[in-house]
């Protein structure tokens, strides 16, 4: 009879370390540290406190939305001419934030940037939650939200279709596709880790809870083979997707004829802006996360430095975008656009918002040229916050200032957010944070399988460096 060896994973295997993987790590150590955050670590005071606040904000959000549905869109500050306000501003802001996740997990994967491994998991989570927040706004901003399904091509007794030429209709498809694909990508990435948690969990109930979504993953070589292909292809699909989504969001404005909207530079610089704000948000989240859960070895200063560099570059692209807008307005000699870009924004009723935007997005980011600042975690964190604010202002400037003074001076008007606008905005932040807090407690915030892969890879490199003969097996 087959004698059962008591096999424990005590023997350590596959050691590695590098500037993107601190300490002396092995399959075991990465598995233990990351999995234990979920399985062993008790609920900390800080976590409970943060969660409580986020949850309170979420409740406020529900209150604000109920009130909106009962009383009508009029409780917001929107009016004629400014038909869009916080709703679309926040929509674009959240979508933009979402994009960094996809970028990190998909594009950097294709570019073989192994430093992405330790941040892609919660970057993707961030994407999902941000898109969830974003997706709520187009629904809420409708005058008759209960008819949202009219925007979908469903069979109906009116024999009517959506109007497929409308950028808003593009949005419906783009955002829902983006949400779906991000979710799939995230879940596929999770399957092996769910299996790991299944196998490590001691409590039978928890074991089962992880086992069900793990779909009975057993790490079969053939499965891995298909898995890798699917994962890579998803990455390949997600890359053009993420670009298309924010391009389409930009089309919401560029297809309009309003001076300040009707400009071809929007799609590229919207995408850049999205990455800009997205990385800022990743940094905003990663810095506290890594120190609180002691993951400094996995999210190293090198990671933060890279992110800072990305922020700097995208920040410069965005700045360029602003300059081009102004230049084209002047060069194009279109009275309305000139007035909008060169008179109203810098000197008009909303000049403070505009100058603050320039300060946040163009001036502050220049600090990131300096290594000392990039490596100063506190400063970096503050700058990332500033960028979040700046990118919100950018959307505010585009939506509100453009609308408040368009073609006929007679119909110019002012817009101010009401208390309900603010409650809804902070409410979605609450929703986002709540989901984040739950995520880091329930699922591995860093992809364990991919970390093992990283360990293996680095391990191989070490050996390749030591041994003359190439190893028999190489990892992809």
Residues numbered 2-31 forming contacts with another protein, rule: CB under 8 A: 2-9, 11, 13-14, 26-28, 31
Determine the straight-line distance between the first and last CA of the chain, rounded to whole angstroms.
39
User: Which range binds another protein by CB under 8 A, 38-46, 116-124, 221-229, 353-361?
Assistant: 221-229
What 8-state DSSP symbol labels residue 362? I
Q: Which of residues 25-64 bind another protein (CB under 8 A)?
A: 26-28, 31
By CB under 8 A, name the one of 54, 102, 120, 244 that touches another protein. Answer: 244
User: Which range binds another protein by CB under 8 A, 41-49, 107-115, 218-226, 317-325?
Assistant: 218-226
Indicate the residue among 74 and 288 with the shorter CB distance to another protein. Answer: 74
250, two tokens: 């930009």
By CB under 8 A, name the one of 199, 301, 353, 462 that touches another protein. Answer: 199
What phi, psi does 166 have (nearest 5°)? -80, 130
Q: Which of residues 391-430 bind another protein (CB under 8 A)?
A: 403, 406-414
Residue 16 bridge partners (DSSP):
25
3-state secondary structure of 23: strand
Indicate the residue among 386 and 448 with the shorter CB distance to another protein. Answer: 448
User: Which range binds another protein by CB under 8 A, 81-89, 93-101, 275-283, 290-298?
Assistant: 81-89
Q: Which of residues 293-352 bind another protein (CB under 8 A)?
A: 334-336, 339
d(Cα 286, Cα 299) in Å, to the nearest integer? Answer: 8
- Tell me how far, at minimum, the Cβ of 450 lies from another protein, in Å: 8
Indicate the residue among 39 and 364 with the shorter CB distance to another protein. Answer: 39
Q: Which of residues 117-176 bind another protein (CB under 8 A)?
A: 138, 141-148, 150-151, 153-170, 172-174, 176
Q: For 183-216, give one letter per residue: b (16+ CB within 10 A) or e.
A: eebbeebbbbbbbbbbbbbeeeeeeebbbeebee
- Tell me how far, at minimum, the Cβ of 393 lies from another protein, in Å: 20
- Tell me how far, at minimum, the Cβ of 265 lies from another protein, in Å: 18
Residue 57 is inside which H or E element, if any? helix 45-71
Asked if 468 is part of the footprint of another protein (rule: CB under 8 A), the reply reads: no
Q: Which of residues 257-296 bind another protein (CB under 8 A)?
A: 257-258
User: Which range binds another protein by CB under 8 A, 74-82, 115-123, 272-280, 287-295?
Assistant: 74-82
The answer to whether 304 and 291 are in contact (CB under 8 A) is no
Indicate the residue among 177 and 376 with the shorter CB distance to another protein. Answer: 177
Indicate the residue among 288 and 471 with the shorter CB distance to another protein. Answer: 471
User: Which range binds another protein by CB under 8 A, 104-112, 225-233, 293-301, 308-316?
Assistant: 225-233
List all residues 6 or more positions away from 53 whose beta carbon is below 8 Å from its beta carbon: 430, 433
Indicate the residue among 43 and 146 with the shorter CB distance to another protein. Answer: 146
Under the phi-then-psi rule, with left for phi > 0, alpha for psi from -120 to 50, and beta for the rest, what region is 415?
Answer: beta
Q: Which of 391, 402, 378 is nearest to 269 (CA)?
A: 391
Distances (CA, A) of 237 to 156, 248, 447: 32, 16, 20
Q: Which of 238, 2, 263, 211 is nearest to 110 (CA)?
A: 238
Indicate the residue among 135 and 192 with the shorter CB distance to another protein. Answer: 192
What 8-state DSSP symbol labels residue 84? -
Indicate the residue among 123 and 195 with the shorter CB distance to another protein. Answer: 195
d(Cα 404, Cα 413) in Å, to the nearest integer? Answer: 5
By CB under 8 A, name the one of 89, 126, 181, 329 that touches another protein. Answer: 181
By CB under 8 A, name the one of 218, 372, 467, 469 that touches another protein. Answer: 218
List all residues 6 or more positions away from 76 whose beta carbon is below 8 Å from its beta carbon: 68, 85, 86, 87, 417, 418, 420, 421, 424
């Amino acid at each position: 009879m087959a004698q059962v060896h008591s096999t424990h994973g005590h023997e350590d295997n596959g050691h590695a370390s590098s500037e993107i993987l601190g300490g002396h790590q092995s399959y075991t150590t990465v598995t233990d540290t990351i999995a234990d955050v979920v399985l062993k670590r008790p609920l900390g005071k800080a976590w409970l406190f943060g969660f409580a606040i986020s949850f309170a904000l979420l409740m406020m959000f529900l209150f604000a939305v109920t009130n909106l549905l009962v009383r009508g869109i009029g409780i917001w500050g929107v009016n004629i001419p400014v038909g869009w306000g916080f709703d679309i501003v926040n929509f674009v802001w959240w979508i933009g934030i979402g994009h960094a996740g996809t970028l990190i997990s998909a594009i950097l994967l294709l570019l073989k940037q192994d430093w992405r491994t330790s941040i892609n998991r919660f970057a993707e989570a961030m994407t999902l939650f941000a898109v969830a927040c974003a997706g709520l706004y187009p629904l809420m901003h409708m005058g008759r939200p209960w008819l949202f399904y009219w925007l979908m091509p469903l069979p109906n007794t009116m024999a009517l279709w959506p109007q497929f030429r409308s950028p808003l209709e593009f949005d419906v498809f783009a955002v829902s596709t983006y949400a779906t694909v991000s979710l799939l990508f995230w879940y596929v990435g999770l399957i092996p880790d769910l299996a790991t948690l299944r196998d490590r969990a001691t409590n039978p109930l928890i074991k089962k809870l992880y086992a069900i979504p793990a779909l009975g993953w057993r790490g079969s070589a053939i499965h891995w083979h298909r898995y890798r292909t699917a994962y890579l292809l998803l990455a390949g699909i997600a890359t053009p997707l993420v670009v298309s989504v924010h391009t389409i969001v930009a089309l919401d404005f560029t297809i309009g004829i309003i001076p300040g909207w009707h400009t071809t530079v929007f799609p590229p610089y919207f995408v850049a802006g999205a990455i800009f704000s997205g990385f800022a948000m990743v940094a905003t989240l990663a810095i506290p996360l890594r120190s609180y859960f002691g993951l400094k070895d996995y999210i190293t200063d090198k990671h933060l430095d890279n992110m800072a560099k990305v922020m700097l570059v995208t920040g410069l692209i965005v700045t360029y975008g602003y300059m081009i807008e102004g230049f084209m307005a002047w060069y194009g000699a279109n009275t309305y656009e000139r007035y909008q870009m060169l008179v109203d924004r810098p000197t008009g009723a909303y000049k403070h918002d505009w100058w603050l935007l320039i300060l946040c997005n163009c001036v502050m980011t220049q600090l990131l040229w300096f290594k000392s600042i990039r490596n100063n975690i506190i400063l970096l964190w503050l700058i990332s916050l500033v960028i979040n604010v700046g990118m919100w202002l950018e959307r505010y400037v585009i939506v509100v200032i453009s609308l408040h003074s368009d073609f006929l001076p007679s119909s110019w008007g002012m817009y101010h957010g009401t208390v309900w606008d603010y409650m809804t905005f902070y409410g979605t932040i609450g929703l986002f944070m709540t989901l984040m807090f739950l995520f880091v407690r329930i699922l591995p915030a860093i992809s364990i399988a991919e970390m093992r892969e990283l360990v293996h890879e680095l391990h191989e490199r070490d050996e390749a460096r030591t041994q003359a003969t190439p190893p028999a097996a190489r990892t992809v």
